[in-house]
């Protein structure tokens, strides 16, 4: 098959969870013998670094990028209140990207056009005008659910009202746009169920985030018994959850375990965290290798309060036999068994208890490390998931 993959940020080099998820689909399809053409937006936060891509990758994907200014503009944001646009989506529309997409569709025929996330759906009209390919939405999250959760956790009344407005417009947009797809690929069972509850009648398959298992190896015995958090700090749910953990949980943890260290790493670390003077909190910013960083510590902390979809970094941590303590929201989509595979904590008291449990029980740490690695091998092998995605494509074409 010939597939055009449209991305809202460059999938490679894979710098964060979203990039990794997109790039694994790209590489999985190419390795399975399919032809993949890649057209991507790049932004002030996610640049297109062609010099860091291999010659083989450049030749295989023919990757092209168009710069789009997705920064929040207050004038545009408030004008959306009048025009009824979903500003979260409309800021990803670019006339330059639309023109480049049109040129490609006029000169090449594709079997499948694969949209990575809701942010690429403003280009549906152009796709339908110039192509007869089947259009598939790879849903990374139900975006409106994230903003509903963020709004609920916001105390400022004016900000809360605006965020509720955004979530409503996003929901209206998502409900409309899914009817225009030929197929939906959800990233978690929970998201698939939510789509069905919204009345989706289109073909749908659940394909979780997949990884190349051969890249994820590590030795637990050489790892420091410490806590760590790894995530892109330009994604609002990450910073929201981490600040909550540092304010509400860490003081209690430090009092109970005065020698325990907590390491923070991730792209675009805000200055307020880089300057933190919290005891035993070490803020590293962006690290050269996420795998090496995760291998150096034992206990992953995932304090997400408002996310959706599936957390790529949890899957990667599990593949490396790390112990995971996550909120219920953070663990959505993984289908791990609490207590056996990971620890679930939604309150400061629960986090404190889960940390104490792992710190005091070496056998529990070892058993959970083995359990989660097996879970990843069974459910998140990219080769197997690519086969399932390919079968779904063929069913749409038939």
Site of tokens 């996310």 = 307
**DSSP one-letter string for 318-385:** HHTT-EEEE-TTTTTTS-PPBTTTBEE--SHHHHHHHHHHHHH-HHHHHHHHHHHHHHHHHH-BHHHH
3-state secondary structure of 302: strand
Cα distance between residue 219 and residue 60, in whole Å: 34
Cα distance between residue 130 and residue 128, in whole Å: 6
Six token digits for residue 268: 């675009």
CA dist list (Å): 162 to 86, 156, 299, 305, 306: 12, 10, 37, 19, 16
Amino acid 83: pLDDT: 37
3-state secondary structure of 35: strand
Sign for the pseudo-dihedral over CA of 193, 195, 199, 203: negative
Query: Domain 214-379 belongs to what architecture?
Result: 3-Layer(aba) Sandwich (3.40)
Q: List the beta bridge partners of residue 206.
A: 186
Q: What angle do CA 97, 72, 290 make, to 5 degrees?
A: 80
Task: Say which residues have a Cβ less than 8 Å from residue 156's Cβ, sequence separation at least 6.
Answer: none
- Residues recorded for the chain: 398
Cα distance between residue 353 and residue 249, in whole Å: 11
In this prediction, the residues of the chain whose per-residue pLDDT falls under 50 are 74-87
* 2-210+381-397 and 214-379: identical CATH topology: yes
Helices 17-31 and 382-397 pack at an angle, to 10 degrees, of 70
pLDDT digits (tens, 9 = 90+) for 269-278: 999 999 999 9
Cα distance between residue 48 and residue 56, in whole Å: 17
Amino acid 191: pLDDT: 81
Written in H, E and C, the secondary structure of 161-175 is HHHHHHHHHHHHHHH
pLDDT digits (tens, 9 = 90+) for 130-188: 999 999 999 876 666 666 666 677 778 777 777 777 777 777 787 788 889 999 999 88
Amino acid 124: pLDDT: 95
Six token digits for residue 140: 């990374």
Q: List the beta bridge partners of residue 265.
A: 230, 285
Written in H, E and C, the secondary structure of 16-51 is CHHHHHHHHHHHHHHHCCCEEEEEEEECCCCCCCHH
Domain segments of the chain as ranges = 2-210+381-397, 214-379
- pTM metric for this prediction: 0.77
Amino acid 197: pLDDT: 83
Task: Say which residues have a Cβ less than 8 Å from residue 74's Cβ, sequence separation at least 6.
Answer: none
Cα distance between residue 297 and residue 283, in whole Å: 14
Amino acid 335: pLDDT: 85
Q: Which CATH number fits domain 2-210+381-397: 3.40.109.10, 3.30.70.100, 3.40.50.2000, 3.40.50.970?
A: 3.40.50.2000
Amino acid 170: pLDDT: 75
Instruction: State the pairing for strand pair 297-302/323-326.
Output: parallel
Amino acid 171: pLDDT: 77
């Amino acid at each position: 098959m010939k597939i055009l993959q449209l991305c809202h940020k460059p999938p490679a080099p894979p710098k964060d969870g979203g990039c990794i998820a997109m790039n694994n689909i790209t590489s999985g399809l190419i390795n399975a013998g399919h032809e993949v053409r890649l057209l991507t937006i790049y932004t002030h936060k996610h640049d297109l670094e062609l010099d860091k891509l291999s010659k083989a990758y450049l030749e295989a994907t023919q990757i092209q990028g168009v710069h789009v200014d997705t920064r929040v503009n207050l004038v545009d944001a408030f004008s959306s209140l009048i025009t009824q646009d979903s500003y979260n989506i409309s800021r990803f529309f670019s006339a330059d990207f639309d023109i480049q997409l049109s040129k490609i569709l006029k000169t090449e025929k594709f079997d499948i056009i694969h949209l990575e996330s809701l942010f690429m759906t403003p280009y549906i009209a152009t796709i339908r005008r110039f192509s007869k390919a089947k259009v598939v939405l790879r849903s990374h999250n139900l975006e409106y659910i994230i903003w509903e959760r963020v709004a609920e956790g916001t105390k400022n009344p004016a900000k809360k009202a605006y965020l509720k407005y955004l979530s409503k417009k996003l929901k209206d947009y998502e409900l409309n746009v899914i009817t225009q797809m030929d197929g939906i690929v959800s990233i978690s069972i929970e998201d698939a169920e939510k789509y069905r509850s919204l009345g989706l009648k289109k073909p749908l398959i659940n394909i979780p985030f997949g990884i190349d298992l051969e890249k994820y190896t590590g030795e637990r015995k050489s790892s420091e018994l410490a806590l760590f958090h790894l995530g892109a700090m330009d994604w609002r749910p990450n910073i929201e959850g981490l600040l909550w953990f540092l304010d509400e949980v860490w003081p209690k943890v430090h009092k109970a375990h005065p020698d325990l260290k907590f390491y923070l790493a991730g792209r675009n670390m805000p200055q307020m965290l880089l300057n933190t003077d919290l005891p035993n909190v070490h803020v590293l910013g962006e690290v050269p290798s996420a795998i090496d960083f995760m291998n150096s510590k034992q206990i992953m902390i995932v304090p997400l309060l408002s996310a959706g979809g599936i957390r790529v970094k949890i899957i990667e941590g599990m593949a490396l036999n790390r112990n995971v303590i996550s909120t219920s929201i953070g663990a959505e989509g993984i289908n791990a068994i609490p207590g056996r595979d990971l620890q679930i904590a939604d309150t400061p008291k629960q986090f404190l208890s889960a940390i104490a449990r792992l710190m005091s029980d070496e056998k529990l740490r070892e058993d959970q490390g083995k359990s989660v690695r097996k879970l990843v091998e069974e459910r998140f092998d990219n080769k197997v998931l690519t086969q399932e995605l390919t079968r779904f494509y063929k069913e749409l074409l038939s």
